[in-house]
């Protein structure tokens, strides 16, 4: 009887030790939210302050943040990548370029969050005798409009102080970050097909014949 009790006690102690020896999983922090600059910003200065929200960590570990700035939205051609313990980072940018940026968080154990959704911005080109064209102005459908039908004509206007011939890159789709639909359009309008009960987003990048490029806001409309 004593032998049986000893074996039972030994088994319970072994189970207790095994449970205590199991490592506690350290979880990754949440992904930060981008605060500034706002999306699709046209920057007239070549130094920009990037800001984001504080991420949360399940173990309340101290966090560092990695800021990535890329010249393409796939983040294959990085212009800048760096870590900071702060919630902002000042970075000098090249003039006359399109940039995309995002942020992730990392705890002291090396666990990384997912990257935030990216934002884009555009820097003013070097000052020359050539004036940049104006940003595109929506004509139709108006911002926030509700329309019917399975097709519509996207229309916009833009001007150039030098009288340069303009061309347009049209971005269109159901994503808040619409994809490039048509490049180097000569007309101020383009017909698109639609689905009912959907929200569409679109923007127009204006280019002149001397390489001047002006970004634009993202517009939206819904279909009945």
**Within-domain flag for 175:** yes
Same domain, 107 and 143: no
Same-domain pairing of 81 and 148: no
Q: What is the pTM of this model?
A: 0.50
Over residues 133-142, mean pLDDT? 96
Report DSSP letters for 185-220, one per residue.
E-SSEEEEE--TT-EEEEEEEEEETTS-EE----EE
Asked if 185 contacts 169 with a C-beta cutoff of 8 angstroms, the reply is yes
Query: Which residues sit opposite 213 in a β-bridge?
Result: 207
Q: Which of 123, 156, 183 is at the close of a domain?
A: 123
Range of the domain at 117: 34-123
Alpha-carbon distance of 197 to 222, in angstroms, equals: 7
Q: What is the mean predicted confidence (pLDDT) over 123-138?
A: 83
Q: What percent of the chain has pLDDT over 90?
A: 69
Which CATH number covers residue 167? 2.60.40.10
158-171 pLDDT, tens per residue?
999 989 999 999 99
Would you state the pLDDT for residue 24? 64
Handedness of CA 194, 120, 71, 163 (dihedral sign): positive
Q: Which whole number is the average pLDDT over 176-182?
A: 95
CB 163 within 8 A of CB 186: no
* pLDDT over threshold 70, residue 22: no
If asked whether residues 217 and 145 sit together in one domain, one would say: yes
Provide the mean pLDDT of the chain. 88
User: Is residue 4 scored above 60 in pLDDT?
Assistant: no
Per-residue model confidence as pLDDT tens digits over 32-50: 999 999 998 888 778 999 9
Following DSSP, what letter does each residue of 145-193 receive, concatenated? Answer: EEE-SSEEEEEEE---TT---EEEEEEEESSSSPEEEEEEE-SSEEEEE
């Amino acid at each position: 009887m004593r032998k049986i009790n000893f074996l039972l006690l030994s088994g319970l102690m072994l189970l207790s030790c095994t449970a205590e020896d199991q490592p506690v999983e350290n979880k990754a922090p949440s992904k930060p939210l981008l605060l500034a600059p706002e999306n699709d910003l046209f920057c007239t200065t070549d130094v920009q302050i990037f800001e984001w929200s504080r991420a949360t960590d399940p173990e309340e570990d101290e966090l560092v943040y990695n800021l990535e700035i890329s010249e393409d939205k796939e983040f294959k051609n990085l212009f800048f990548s760096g870590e900071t313990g702060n919630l902002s980072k000042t970075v000098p940018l090249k003039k006359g370029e399109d940039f995309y940026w995002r942020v992730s968080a990392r705890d002291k154990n090396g666990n990384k969050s997912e990257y935030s959704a990216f934002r884009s911005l555009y820097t003013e080109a070097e000052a020359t005798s050539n004036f940049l064209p104006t940003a595109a102005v929506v004509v139709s459908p108006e911002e926030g409009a509700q329309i019917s039908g399975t097709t519509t004509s996207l229309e916009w206007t833009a001007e150039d102080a030098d009288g340069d011939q303009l061309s347009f890159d049209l971005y269109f789709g159901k994503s808040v970050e619409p994809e490039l639909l048509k490049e180097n359009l000569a007309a101020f309008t383009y017909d698109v097909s639609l689905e009912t009960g959907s929200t569409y987003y679109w923007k127009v990048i204006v280019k002149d014949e001397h390489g001047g490029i002006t970004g634009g806001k993202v517009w939206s409309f819904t279909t009945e």
